Structure 1
Protein backbone atom coordinates (compact mmCIF):
# COMPACT_ATOMS: atom_id res chain seq x y z
CA UNK A 1 0.00 0.00 0.00
CA UNK A 2 1.56 3.27 -1.13
CA UNK A 3 0.39 6.49 0.46
CA UNK A 4 0.86 9.87 -1.16
CA UNK A 5 0.89 12.74 1.29
CA UNK A 6 -0.42 16.24 0.62
CA UNK A 7 1.96 19.19 0.84
CA UNK A 8 0.14 20.21 4.03
CA UNK A 9 0.89 16.86 5.69
CA UNK A 10 4.48 16.92 4.44
CA UNK A 11 4.99 20.42 5.86
CA UNK A 12 3.42 19.45 9.19
CA UNK A 13 5.61 16.33 9.32
CA UNK A 14 8.87 18.23 8.82
CA UNK A 15 7.93 21.10 11.15
CA UNK A 16 6.98 18.49 13.76
CA UNK A 17 10.22 16.58 13.20
CA UNK A 18 12.35 19.72 13.56
CA UNK A 19 10.64 20.85 16.78
CA UNK A 20 10.56 17.38 18.33
CA UNK A 21 14.18 16.58 17.46
CA UNK A 22 15.38 19.98 18.73
CA UNK A 23 13.41 19.67 21.98
CA UNK A 24 14.57 16.09 22.61
CA UNK A 25 18.24 16.64 21.77
CA UNK A 26 18.56 19.98 23.57
CA UNK A 27 16.51 18.78 26.54
CA UNK A 28 18.60 15.64 27.01
CA UNK A 29 21.79 17.66 26.46
CA UNK A 30 20.89 20.07 29.26
CA UNK A 31 19.74 17.21 31.51
CA UNK A 32 22.89 15.11 31.15
CA UNK A 33 25.68 17.64 30.61
CA UNK A 34 27.06 20.40 32.77
CA UNK A 35 25.84 23.67 31.27
CA UNK A 36 25.73 27.19 32.61
CA UNK A 37 22.57 28.42 34.28
CA UNK A 38 22.07 30.92 31.45
CA UNK A 39 22.28 28.16 28.80
CA UNK A 40 19.85 26.00 30.74
CA UNK A 41 17.48 28.96 31.10
CA UNK A 42 17.78 29.89 27.40
CA UNK A 43 17.16 26.35 26.15
CA UNK A 44 14.34 25.78 28.63
CA UNK A 45 12.63 29.03 27.66
CA UNK A 46 13.01 28.33 23.93
CA UNK A 47 11.73 24.76 24.29
CA UNK A 48 8.71 25.83 26.34
CA UNK A 49 7.85 28.52 23.78
CA UNK A 50 8.36 26.26 20.74
CA UNK A 51 6.45 23.31 22.13
CA UNK A 52 3.59 25.49 23.39
CA UNK A 53 3.20 26.95 19.90
CA UNK A 54 3.52 23.42 18.49
CA UNK A 55 0.50 22.05 20.40
CA UNK A 56 -2.21 23.33 17.97
CA UNK A 57 -0.16 22.15 14.98
CA UNK A 58 0.19 18.73 16.59
CA UNK A 59 -3.59 18.55 17.15
CA UNK A 60 -4.13 19.50 13.48
CA UNK A 61 -1.61 16.90 12.36
CA UNK A 62 -3.17 14.21 14.56
CA UNK A 63 -6.62 15.01 13.12
CA UNK A 64 -5.24 14.64 9.58
CA UNK A 65 -3.52 11.35 10.52
CA UNK A 66 -6.54 9.78 12.18
CA UNK A 67 -8.89 11.16 9.50
CA UNK A 68 -6.76 9.51 6.81
CA UNK A 69 -7.01 6.20 8.69
CA UNK A 70 -10.77 6.17 8.28
CA UNK A 71 -10.45 6.87 4.55
CA UNK A 72 -7.84 4.12 4.11
CA UNK A 73 -9.60 1.40 6.04
CA UNK A 74 -7.87 -1.38 7.96
CA UNK A 75 -4.31 -2.54 7.43
CA UNK A 76 -4.21 -5.57 5.14
CA UNK A 77 -0.94 -7.15 6.32
CA UNK A 78 0.95 -7.60 9.56
CA UNK A 79 3.67 -5.14 8.52
CA UNK A 80 1.06 -2.51 7.64
CA UNK A 81 -0.66 -3.12 10.97
CA UNK A 82 2.69 -2.85 12.79
CA UNK A 83 3.54 0.42 11.02
CA UNK A 84 0.12 1.80 11.89
CA UNK A 85 0.48 0.70 15.52
CA UNK A 86 3.92 2.33 15.87
CA UNK A 87 2.76 5.57 14.23
CA UNK A 88 -0.29 5.64 16.51
CA UNK A 89 1.98 5.07 19.51
CA UNK A 90 4.22 7.93 18.37
CA UNK A 91 1.20 10.25 18.26
CA UNK A 92 0.06 9.07 21.69
CA UNK A 93 3.48 9.58 23.27
CA UNK A 94 3.92 13.02 21.68
CA UNK A 95 0.54 13.95 23.16
CA UNK A 96 1.66 12.75 26.60
CA UNK A 97 4.95 14.67 26.31
CA UNK A 98 3.11 17.87 25.36
CA UNK A 99 0.43 17.60 28.06
CA UNK A 100 2.87 16.70 30.84
CA UNK A 101 5.24 19.40 29.62
CA UNK A 102 2.51 21.96 30.28
CA UNK A 103 1.44 20.39 33.58
CA UNK A 104 4.96 20.23 35.03
CA UNK A 105 5.50 24.00 34.82
CA UNK A 106 6.36 25.52 38.20
CA UNK A 107 5.40 29.01 37.05
CA UNK A 108 3.37 30.71 34.31
CA UNK A 109 4.17 29.57 30.78
CA UNK A 110 5.81 32.34 28.78
CA UNK A 111 5.66 32.09 25.00
CA UNK A 112 8.62 34.15 23.79
CA UNK A 113 7.76 36.72 26.48
CA UNK A 114 4.69 37.79 24.48
CA UNK A 115 1.93 35.57 25.82
CA UNK A 116 1.74 34.30 29.40
CA UNK A 117 -0.39 31.29 30.28
CA UNK A 118 -1.15 30.74 33.98
CA UNK A 119 0.52 27.82 35.71
CA UNK A 120 -1.94 24.93 35.32
CA UNK A 121 -1.12 23.06 38.56
CA UNK A 122 -0.40 24.42 42.01
CA UNK A 123 0.10 21.18 43.94
CA UNK A 124 3.85 20.39 44.12
CA UNK A 125 3.15 16.63 44.24
CA UNK A 126 1.13 16.77 41.00
CA UNK A 127 3.79 18.95 39.36
CA UNK A 128 6.45 16.40 40.33
CA UNK A 129 4.31 13.55 39.00
CA UNK A 130 3.86 15.41 35.70
CA UNK A 131 7.62 16.00 35.58
CA UNK A 132 8.33 12.29 36.13
CA UNK A 133 5.82 11.20 33.48
CA UNK A 134 7.21 13.87 31.12
CA UNK A 135 10.78 12.64 31.56
CA UNK A 136 9.84 8.99 31.03
CA UNK A 137 7.67 9.78 28.02
CA UNK A 138 10.54 11.79 26.49
CA UNK A 139 12.75 8.69 26.80
CA UNK A 140 10.04 6.55 25.15
CA UNK A 141 9.60 9.17 22.41
CA UNK A 142 13.35 9.23 21.74
CA UNK A 143 13.29 5.43 21.33
CA UNK A 144 10.26 5.62 19.02
CA UNK A 145 11.95 8.33 16.93
CA UNK A 146 15.05 6.11 16.65
CA UNK A 147 12.84 3.16 15.63
CA UNK A 148 11.06 5.37 13.09
CA UNK A 149 14.39 6.50 11.59
CA UNK A 150 15.62 2.90 11.43
CA UNK A 151 12.42 1.88 9.62
CA UNK A 152 12.87 4.73 7.14
CA UNK A 153 16.45 3.61 6.42
CA UNK A 154 15.36 -0.01 6.11
CA UNK A 155 12.63 0.91 3.62
CA UNK A 156 14.95 3.16 1.61
CA UNK A 157 17.68 0.51 1.38
CA UNK A 158 15.04 -2.11 0.50
CA UNK A 159 13.98 -0.04 -2.51
CA UNK A 160 10.75 1.37 -1.05
CA UNK A 161 11.16 5.13 -1.42
CA UNK A 162 9.33 6.36 1.67
CA UNK A 163 11.37 9.57 1.93
CA UNK A 164 10.21 10.64 -1.52
CA UNK A 165 6.57 10.23 -0.47
CA UNK A 166 7.21 12.46 2.55
CA UNK A 167 8.95 15.15 0.50
CA UNK A 168 7.81 18.12 -1.53
CA UNK A 169 9.26 16.57 -4.72
CA UNK A 170 6.48 14.25 -5.86
CA UNK A 171 6.83 11.80 -8.73
CA UNK A 172 4.73 12.64 -11.78
CA UNK A 173 1.08 11.68 -11.45
CA UNK A 174 0.93 11.70 -7.66
CA UNK A 175 0.14 15.36 -7.04
CA UNK A 176 -3.58 15.06 -7.75
CA UNK A 177 -3.96 11.84 -5.78
CA UNK A 178 -2.33 13.35 -2.69
CA UNK A 179 -5.46 14.80 -1.12
CA UNK A 180 -4.88 13.62 2.46
Structure 2
Protein backbone atom coordinates (compact mmCIF):
# COMPACT_ATOMS: atom_id res chain seq x y z
CA UNK A 1 0.00 0.00 0.00
CA UNK A 2 2.89 2.37 -0.76
CA UNK A 3 3.20 4.83 -3.61
CA UNK A 4 6.12 4.12 -5.92
CA UNK A 5 9.46 5.75 -5.18
CA UNK A 6 9.07 8.36 -7.91
CA UNK A 7 5.69 9.47 -6.52
CA UNK A 8 7.10 9.68 -3.00
CA UNK A 9 10.13 11.74 -4.07
CA UNK A 10 7.93 14.04 -6.17
CA UNK A 11 5.50 14.45 -3.26
CA UNK A 12 8.08 15.37 -0.64
CA UNK A 13 10.11 17.62 -2.94
CA UNK A 14 6.88 19.39 -3.93
CA UNK A 15 5.91 19.70 -0.29
CA UNK A 16 9.23 21.37 0.54
CA UNK A 17 8.96 23.87 -2.31
CA UNK A 18 5.29 24.65 -1.66
CA UNK A 19 5.73 25.00 2.10
CA UNK A 20 8.84 27.17 1.72
CA UNK A 21 7.27 29.45 -0.91
CA UNK A 22 4.01 29.74 1.03
CA UNK A 23 5.50 30.39 4.45
CA UNK A 24 8.25 32.72 3.24
CA UNK A 25 5.83 34.54 0.94
CA UNK A 26 3.41 35.22 3.78
CA UNK A 27 6.37 36.13 6.03
CA UNK A 28 7.25 38.99 3.69
CA UNK A 29 3.79 40.46 4.26
CA UNK A 30 4.45 40.94 7.97
CA UNK A 31 5.05 44.49 9.15
CA UNK A 32 8.59 45.59 9.94
CA UNK A 33 10.28 43.23 7.48
CA UNK A 34 13.19 45.02 5.84
CA UNK A 35 12.79 45.75 2.14
CA UNK A 36 16.11 44.03 1.41
CA UNK A 37 14.91 40.82 3.11
CA UNK A 38 11.61 40.96 1.20
CA UNK A 39 13.48 41.38 -2.09
CA UNK A 40 15.89 38.55 -1.29
CA UNK A 41 13.04 36.16 -0.45
CA UNK A 42 11.00 37.26 -3.48
CA UNK A 43 13.96 36.74 -5.83
CA UNK A 44 14.73 33.34 -4.37
CA UNK A 45 11.06 32.30 -4.56
CA UNK A 46 10.78 33.38 -8.20
CA UNK A 47 13.85 31.32 -9.07
CA UNK A 48 12.80 28.31 -7.03
CA UNK A 49 9.23 28.21 -8.30
CA UNK A 50 10.32 28.81 -11.90
CA UNK A 51 12.51 25.72 -11.62
CA UNK A 52 9.61 23.92 -9.95
CA UNK A 53 7.29 24.40 -12.96
CA UNK A 54 8.72 21.58 -15.13
CA UNK A 55 9.11 19.43 -12.01
CA UNK A 56 5.42 19.97 -11.20
CA UNK A 57 4.43 19.19 -14.79
CA UNK A 58 6.31 15.90 -14.51
CA UNK A 59 4.57 15.24 -11.21
CA UNK A 60 1.16 15.71 -12.84
CA UNK A 61 2.20 13.47 -15.75
CA UNK A 62 3.46 10.78 -13.36
CA UNK A 63 0.26 10.97 -11.31
CA UNK A 64 -1.89 10.54 -14.42
CA UNK A 65 0.10 7.60 -15.77
CA UNK A 66 0.60 5.81 -12.43
CA UNK A 67 -1.89 3.96 -10.32
CA UNK A 68 -2.42 4.81 -6.70
CA UNK A 69 -1.81 1.99 -4.25
CA UNK A 70 -4.85 0.05 -3.11
CA UNK A 71 -6.76 2.01 -0.49
CA UNK A 72 -6.95 0.81 3.04
CA UNK A 73 -10.24 -0.65 4.22
CA UNK A 74 -9.86 1.67 7.20
CA UNK A 75 -10.79 4.63 4.99
CA UNK A 76 -14.49 5.00 4.14
CA UNK A 77 -15.74 5.49 0.59
CA UNK A 78 -16.76 9.04 1.50
CA UNK A 79 -13.26 9.80 2.83
CA UNK A 80 -11.72 8.36 -0.34
CA UNK A 81 -13.91 10.61 -2.49
CA UNK A 82 -13.11 13.68 -0.39
CA UNK A 83 -9.43 12.79 -0.56
CA UNK A 84 -9.59 12.52 -4.35
CA UNK A 85 -11.34 15.88 -4.67
CA UNK A 86 -8.87 17.52 -2.29
CA UNK A 87 -5.84 16.14 -4.11
CA UNK A 88 -7.26 17.28 -7.46
CA UNK A 89 -7.86 20.70 -5.95
CA UNK A 90 -4.27 20.84 -4.70
CA UNK A 91 -2.96 20.07 -8.19
CA UNK A 92 -5.23 22.67 -9.81
CA UNK A 93 -4.46 25.40 -7.27
CA UNK A 94 -0.70 24.77 -7.45
CA UNK A 95 -0.99 25.02 -11.24
CA UNK A 96 -2.89 28.31 -10.97
CA UNK A 97 -0.33 29.70 -8.51
CA UNK A 98 2.57 28.76 -10.80
CA UNK A 99 0.96 30.10 -13.99
CA UNK A 100 -0.20 33.37 -12.42
CA UNK A 101 3.19 33.72 -10.76
CA UNK A 102 4.78 33.87 -14.20
CA UNK A 103 2.04 35.98 -15.79
CA UNK A 104 2.08 38.61 -13.01
CA UNK A 105 5.77 39.43 -13.42
CA UNK A 106 6.33 43.09 -14.23
CA UNK A 107 10.03 42.68 -14.98
CA UNK A 108 12.20 39.98 -16.57
CA UNK A 109 12.22 36.67 -14.71
CA UNK A 110 15.70 35.83 -13.45
CA UNK A 111 16.44 32.29 -12.34
CA UNK A 112 19.28 32.55 -9.82
CA UNK A 113 20.93 35.18 -12.08
CA UNK A 114 21.84 32.42 -14.54
CA UNK A 115 18.94 32.48 -17.00
CA UNK A 116 16.58 35.38 -17.66
CA UNK A 117 13.23 35.38 -19.46
CA UNK A 118 11.24 38.40 -20.53
CA UNK A 119 8.00 38.95 -18.67
CA UNK A 120 4.95 37.79 -20.62
CA UNK A 121 2.94 41.04 -20.40
CA UNK A 122 3.91 44.69 -20.38
CA UNK A 123 0.38 45.94 -19.74
CA UNK A 124 0.10 46.94 -16.07
CA UNK A 125 -3.67 46.36 -15.98
CA UNK A 126 -3.21 42.75 -17.14
CA UNK A 127 -0.34 42.24 -14.71
CA UNK A 128 -2.49 43.56 -11.85
CA UNK A 129 -5.25 41.08 -12.72
CA UNK A 130 -2.78 38.19 -12.55
CA UNK A 131 -1.29 39.53 -9.28
CA UNK A 132 -4.79 39.57 -7.78
CA UNK A 133 -5.52 36.02 -8.95
CA UNK A 134 -2.11 34.92 -7.66
CA UNK A 135 -2.78 36.47 -4.25
CA UNK A 136 -6.09 34.66 -3.81
CA UNK A 137 -4.71 31.42 -5.25
CA UNK A 138 -1.81 31.43 -2.77
CA UNK A 139 -4.25 31.97 0.08
CA UNK A 140 -6.40 29.10 -1.19
CA UNK A 141 -3.28 26.94 -1.55
CA UNK A 142 -2.30 27.66 2.05
CA UNK A 143 -5.79 26.63 3.16
CA UNK A 144 -5.65 23.44 1.06
CA UNK A 145 -2.23 22.53 2.49
CA UNK A 146 -3.53 23.15 6.01
CA UNK A 147 -6.56 20.90 5.37
CA UNK A 148 -4.30 18.25 3.79
CA UNK A 149 -2.01 18.19 6.84
CA UNK A 150 -4.96 18.34 9.28
CA UNK A 151 -6.59 15.35 7.56
CA UNK A 152 -3.32 13.45 7.77
CA UNK A 153 -2.98 14.19 11.49
CA UNK A 154 -6.64 13.23 12.10
CA UNK A 155 -6.22 9.88 10.35
CA UNK A 156 -2.92 9.12 12.06
CA UNK A 157 -4.42 9.90 15.49
CA UNK A 158 -7.36 7.61 14.69
CA UNK A 159 -4.95 4.78 13.87
CA UNK A 160 -5.38 4.97 10.11
CA UNK A 161 -1.72 4.92 9.13
CA UNK A 162 -1.93 6.69 5.78
CA UNK A 163 1.40 8.52 6.13
CA UNK A 164 3.22 5.21 5.65
CA UNK A 165 2.01 5.22 2.01
CA UNK A 166 4.16 8.28 1.29
CA UNK A 167 7.26 7.40 3.29
The runs of 4+ residues in structure 1 deviating greater than 4 Å are 69-72
User: Residue 79 of structure 1 corresponds to which residue in structure 2?
Assistant: 79
Q: Give, in whole Å, the separation in 1 of the partners of 2:141 and 2:83.
A: 16
Normalised TM-score (structure 1): 0.85
Cα distance per residue 1:34-57 (max 9 Å; x no partner): 211110110000000000000011
Partner SS state of residue 122, structure 2: coil
User: Residue 25 of structure 1 corresponds to which residue in structure 2?
Assistant: 23
Alignment check: 8 A CA contact 2:109 2:118 kept:
yes
Q: Give, in whole Å, the separation in 1 of the partners of 2:36 and 2:54.
A: 29
RMSD: 1.7
Matches within 5 A, 1:15-94: 15-68=13-66, 77-94=77-94
Cα distance per residue 1:117-156 (max 9 Å; x no partner): 1111111011000000000000000000000000100111
User: Residue 178 of structure 1 corresponds to which residue in structure 2?
Assistant: none
Q: Give, in whole Å, the separation in 2 of the partners of 1:138 and 1:65.
A: 22
Normalised TM-score (structure 2): 0.92
Where in structure 2 are there 5+ consecutive unaligned residues?
Answer: 71-75
